[in-house]
């Protein structure tokens, strides 16, 4: 079992953090260190720490972190316009929107499908287009660019006040480039990529909160092989110039899913960020795809802890569980991943890769084609309910105040005293201080 990895360099200390889950009780564990290439290893090890947790302790820690990072205490002060306190005024507080972006990919199947649209907007505040922005979708034949479908999908997200990630401008994996792009070289390829990025970002400037600029660049280098080692850097520079308000992300897989892939270790990710920084590009965010088979929660937390030291927003961008597992196991593993992502202070958003098509989903669906929940859908609905503040009823104390703790987001308070009523809209946001809201009757 791989429990962690690090790129160790000669003559300096490297920090390795990881973890594992035992399927059965044990009083003995043995850690082995090995090189990924199998060569002889000669290292010094210092400050080894192995901290055990029971399942109950881990869950309590999860809940404590959620309460600390995703909730805030508020005190509502009720008075008349002269500032005189009003004890025993009745208060109803309702959360009207969530601060934390939790969403899903959508496909063009949502267009003209009111049932799919209703199901989606009742749950999610964030979306990504699974395929419809990718180059092979918008320009399947050279020179014939068509944005009709993403335009229509944006109309849906705009109409329902759903923020949307831009996925993606380029994809470094050769097989996910248009067939005609794979046949281009030299100046012809350079011209094509310039046309692509300018067309896309001029068309959609200020529409998307993020851009995945050069997808999976830890694993593949289609463009750099053909156009030179600075090509990815030029992509980011151009994107920054054309859509300066969008946050630019690296996006890759097997960073958080496993430690067996030495191509996409945390250190490899950080090294790529540093390379871009040397070229003048300071990344706006860290994209971790999250295509899991068997999640390892302690490893997930260790990876997030290490990446969080960069002080950049982390998003889990394409979360799903392998279709090779049964649906109950998918659901159980999905809950593990979502809880670890939601509790971590460095994670600013989670996207599920669960766009529904007539023939199913990429790896994992939340519902069947009739929009009846699968076990994974039940998990998502239950967590959405758990992470939403229930309607709060109360009355002010002798000081004219009422306090409560709620999940971050926007709230509406309705206050009544005698025949007088007042409403107040306020926001609970991140921070250690109690939020104070003043309402006049």
Which three-class secondary structure state does DSSP give residue 313? Answer: coil
- Residues in a beta bridge with 68: none
Strands 409-417, 102-106: pairing is unpaired
- Tokens coding 80: 């008349």
Annotated active-site residue in 132, 172, 216, 340: 216
pLDDT of residue 269: 97
pLDDT, tens digit only, all 441 positions of the chain: 889 999 988 889 999 999 999 888 777 778 888 888 888 888 888 988 888 899 999 999 999 999 999 999 999 999 999 999 999 999 999 999 999 999 999 999 999 999 999 999 999 999 999 999 999 999 999 999 999 999 999 999 999 999 999 999 999 999 999 999 999 999 999 999 999 999 999 999 999 999 999 999 999 999 999 999 999 999 999 999 999 999 999 999 999 999 999 999 999 999 999 999 999 999 999 999 999 999 999 999 999 999 999 999 999 999 999 999 999 999 999 999 999 999 999 999 999 999 999 999 999 999 999 999 999 999 999 999 999 999 999 999 999 999 999 999 999 999 999 999 999 999 999 998 999 999 999
Annotated active-site residue in 172, 318, 335, 340: 318
User: Any catalytic annotation for residue 207?
Assistant: no
pLDDT of residue 138: 98
pLDDT of residue 309: 96
pLDDT of residue 37: 85
pLDDT of residue 33: 87
For residues 108 and 113, what is the distance between their CA atoms, to the nearest angstrom?
10
C-alpha count within 13 angstroms, C-beta hemisphere, residue 205 = 11
Which three-class secondary structure state does DSSP give residue 167? Answer: strand
pLDDT of residue 111: 98
User: Any catalytic annotation for residue 216?
Assistant: yes
Nearest partner of 124 among 281, 339, 286, 353, judged by Cα = 353
Question: HEC string of 18-69?
Answer: CCCCCCCCCCCCCCCCCCCCCCCCCCCCCCCCCCCCCHHHHHHHHHHHHHHH
Nearest partner of 245 among 206, 284, 199, 203, judged by Cα = 206
Nearest partner of 327 among 365, 273, 284, 361, judged by Cα = 365
**What's the chain's Rg over C-alpha atoms?**
25
């Amino acid at each position: 079992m791989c429990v962690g990895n690090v790129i160790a360099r000669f003559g300096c200390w490297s920090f390795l953090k990881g973890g594992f889950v035992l399927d059965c009780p044990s009083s003995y564990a043995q850690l082995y260190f090995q090189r990924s290439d199998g060569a002889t290893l000669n290292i010094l090890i210092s400050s080894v720490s192995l901290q055990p947790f029971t399942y109950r302790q881990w869950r309590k820690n999860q809940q404590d972190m959620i309460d600390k990072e995703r909730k805030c205490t508020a005190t509502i002060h009720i008075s008349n316009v002269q500032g005189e306190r009003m004890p025993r005024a009745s208060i109803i507080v309702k959360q009207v929107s969530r601060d934390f972006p939790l969403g899903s990919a959508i496909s063009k199947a949502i267009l003209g499908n009111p049932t799919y649209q209703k199901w989606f907007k009742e749950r999610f505040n964030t979306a990504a287009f699974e395929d419809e922005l990718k180059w092979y979708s918008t320009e399947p034949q050279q020179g014939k660019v068509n944005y009709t479908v993403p335009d229509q999908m944006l109309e849906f997200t705009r109409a329902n006040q759903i923020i949307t990630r831009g996925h993606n401008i380029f994809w470094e994996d050769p097989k996910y480039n248009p067939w005609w792009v794979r046949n281009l070289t030299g100046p012809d390829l350079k011209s094509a990529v310039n046309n692509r990025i300018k067309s896309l970002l001029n068309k959609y400037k200020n529409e998307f909160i993020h851009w995945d600029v050069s997808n999976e660049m830890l694993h593949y280098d289609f463009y750099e092989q053909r156009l030179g080692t600075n090509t990815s850097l030029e992509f980011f520079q151009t994107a920054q110039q054309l859509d300066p308000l969008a946050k630019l992300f690296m996006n890759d897989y097997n960073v958080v899913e496993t430690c067996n892939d030495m191509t996409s270790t945390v250190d490899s990710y950080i090294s790529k960020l540093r390379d871009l920084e040397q070229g003048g590009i300071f990344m706006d965010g860290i994209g971790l795809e999250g295509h899991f088979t068997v999640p390892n929660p302690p490893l997930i937390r260790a990876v997030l802890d290490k990446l969080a030291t960069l002080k950049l927003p982390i998003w889990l961008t394409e979360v799903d569980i392998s279709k090779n597992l049964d649906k109950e196991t998918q659901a159980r593993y999905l809950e593990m991943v979502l809880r670890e992502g939601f509790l971590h202070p460095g994670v600013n958003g989670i996207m599920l890769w669960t766009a529904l098509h007539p023939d199913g989903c990429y790896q994992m669906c939340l519902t069947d084609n009739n929009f009846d929940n699968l076990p994974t859908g039940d998990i998502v609905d239950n967590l959405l309910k758990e992470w939403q503040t229930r309607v709060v009823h109360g009355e002010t104390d002798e000081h004219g105040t009422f306090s409560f703790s709620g999940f971050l987001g926007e709230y509406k308070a309705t206050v009544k005293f005698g025949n007088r009523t007042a409403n107040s809209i306020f926001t609970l946001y991140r921070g250690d201080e109690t939020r104070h809201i003043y309402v006049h009757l």
